[in-house]
Amino acid sequence: MQQEDIWNADAARRYDTPGTGMFAPEVLGPAVERLAGLAGDGRALEFAIGTGRVAIPLAERGVPVTGIELSRPMIDQLRTKADEETIPVIVGDMATAVAPGEYTLVYLVYNTISNLLTQAEQVACFRNAARHLAPGGRFVIELWVPELRKLPPGQQAVVWHHEPGYIGLDTYDVLRQQIVSHHFRFDESEHARLYRSPHRYIWPAELDLMAQLAGFELESRHADWAETEFTAESRSHVSVYRIPPSRIASE
């Protein structure tokens, strides 16, 4: 499965769920608030900007936002809500594409770094963030913690969420550190709709090493955007990495 095939026109049409899911105010509000604080008076660059879920409310807060996005259908959906002058978008891969100018903040939310399926690509993503940042600038990543403790020996799949009309199931390839997420949506009929997406999962310690290779230092890690303490039981984290003010990361 290629990312261009996954994030197609159908996915773009279904992506926005105003007021619910990841668009719910209690989910989106704290993320925008935290990112606005980290951006300060500078400019922000969003890797994998998608349909503008975070970028649009962040721009409405007065933070100039530019995006990088691989999927043209996702950009088309964004353009129904914000024009190019309001939120410029560079078409390309977040590991290699270059946006003009210098930024105080680069951010990558909702597990999206795991869409890069090799360690080398993920390291390149960190280095790409570093080359866009001014000294002292920050790179923020929101990512889930791999839940391998739920996977008994010999079992390759685990249900990670279920509710009426939906089952989320992950299949693991622990040798390559990859999973495929399966999203089943169904009603009272005999038919179900399946959406799949591949990911490479990353341990927090491995993420920190990727950051170090790109010249970053870990500034903070919390369990969520509200800055809840990160513990061994946390299912996700928001990690803030910073380029030291005295030096610029090598590219």
20-58 pLDDT, tens digit each: 777 788 989 999 999 999 999 999 999 999 989 999 999
Average pLDDT, the chain: 90
What CATH code would you report for 3-146+202-242? 3.40.50.150
Listed residue (196, 145, 154, 144) closest to 174, CA to CA: 154
State the pLDDT at residue 191: 86
Residue 16: pLDDT band (50, 70, 90) is low
pLDDT of res. 5: 61
Residue 37 Cα distances to 42, 209, 228, angstroms: 10, 26, 16
- Distance between CA atoms of residues 183 and 171, nearest Å: 11
Band the pLDDT of 188: cuts 50, 70, 90. confident
Quote the CA–CA distance of 47 and 129 in Å, as a whole number.
9
- Band the pLDDT of 249: cuts 50, 70, 90: very low
- Going by C-alpha positions, the residue among 141, 138, 53, 56 that lies closest to residue 103 is 138
The pLDDT value recorded for residue 251 is 44
Q: Let me know: does 32 contact 57? Beta carbons within 8 Å.
A: yes
User: Which residue type does 32 have?
Assistant: V
Enter the pTM of the model.
Answer: 0.89
Q: What is the pLDDT of residue 44?
A: 98
Q: Per-residue pLDDT tens for 100-158? A: 999 999 999 999 999 999 999 999 999 999 999 999 999 999 999 998 888 888 888 88
Report the percent of the chain where pLDDT is more than 90: 69
Token output for 60: 């409405």
- What is the mean pLDDT of the segment spanning 213-229? 97
Q: Which residue has the tokens 């939310």?
A: 109
The percent of residues above 70 in pLDDT, for the chain, comes to 92
- Give the confidence band of 247 by pLDDT, cuts at 50, 70, 90: low
Q: Is the pLDDT of residue 83 over 80?
A: yes
